Amino acid sequence: MSQPNQDVNADKNLLQAKNYGHQADNNQFSLRDKLQYTNGQGALKDAVNIVINRNKELESLGAFTATSNMNSPHNGAYFWSGSTMKDGEVIHSAMLTAQSIAEKQGGVTLEMTEGGHSLHNYSGEEDSFSFIKERFKYADGTKLSDDNYTVKKDLIEKGIANTGIDILVETGISKTDSKESVVSSQHSVPHTLWDIMSMRYADKVTGEAKAIHAISEKDPYVKSEAFQNNTWNAKERPTLENNGVSVKELYSEQLDGHLVGENKSNKKNWANTGGFIGNIKPDNHS
């Protein structure tokens, strides 16, 4: 059976999430055994407990986005968006370039903060986005669900509410004219969790912030609606500007010698696994 990977210094809500996830996985291993060896006797209880523990896991992750340490050094906050792509492959990664520069300069990106690092490595490997997306895909609804299907939204908001933290204040949204909820039912679970943490990260920046774009300033994508509506332009930059933080943006023209390519590490491929380690085959790596 799976064992939770715990850090004694980790946020208590992160530890709770991992513990509930551990219980859900054990329920799923038990369900598989009962279906295979006992004609399904007792399987219903395991099936129910999988959902209960997964829901509690997501609630705890919601709480974690509100309580995790998102601090950055003065003048040491780095943001990123816009990678150079060719034929669907990442040539220059904005995230990895920003992380490389930040590390050399004693700064951090969102993923390098204490809280960001924990979410980034939630599966036990770097970049847990696909793992979290698969694990909580059940909360997205189906193709027949309407746009207001809110299971994931409700679970994340419940977790945040349990902390007693006013997330509109914590993310800086209360200082703007925005009436938008912090948690959206339109985005995937990992997208939503990262959005909350990115706004908290941006709201805590002091000094000068730097935005790294591993793409040419002349690239048509920079003028596109997709780029203008990404997390950097739609959420992080407005938060910084509202707080009077000066921002220095750097494009590939100013990053010669610093651009970093895609990390080709042999990570687990979580596609179609439901985020359950028991569904990972020995050769199921990307």
Using a pLDDT cut of 90, give the percent of the chain over it: 72
Q: Which has the closest alpha carbon to 50: 282, 267, 268, 279? A: 279
List Cβ neighbours of 52 (8 Å cut-off, separation of 6 or more): none
CA torsion 175-225-94-64 (nearest 10°) is: 40
The tokens of 68 are what? 């995790």
| Mean pLDDT to the nearest integer, 6-27 | 86
Give one DSSP letter per residue of 169-232, joined into a string: HHTTGGGSS----SS-SSS-HHHHHHHHHHHHHHHT--S-EEEEEES-TT-GGGGSHHHHTSHI
* Contact call for residues 14 and 60 (beta carbons, < 8 A): yes
Question: Distance between terminal CA atoms of the chain?
Answer: 24
CA distance 248 to 30: 53
- Whether 7 shows a pLDDT value over 60: the answer reads no
pLDDT digits (tens, 9 = 90+) for 125-138: 988 999 999 999 99
**Residue 3: pLDDT band with limits 50, 70, 90:** very low
List Cβ neighbours of 149 (8 Å cut-off, separation of 6 or more): 140, 141, 185
Around 138, how many Cα atoms within 13 Å sit in the side-chain half-sphere?
Answer: 13
A 10 A CB-CB count for 69 gives 14
A 10 A CB-CB count for 201 gives 27
- Residue 156 is inside which H or E element, if any? helix 151-163
pLDDT of residue 8: 43
Task: Decide: residue 282, CB within 10 A, 0-12 exposed, 13-18 middle, 19+ buried.
Answer: exposed
Residue extents of the structural domains in the chain = 12-66, 70-254
Q: Which has the closest alpha carbon to 167: 179, 152, 183? A: 183
Residue 268 is given by DSSP the state B
pLDDT digits (tens, 9 = 90+) for 19-76: 999 999 999 999 999 998 888 888 999 999 999 999 999 999 999 999 999 999 999 9
The answer to pTM > 0.85 is yes
Q: Which has the closest alpha carbon to 62: 209, 226, 184? A: 184
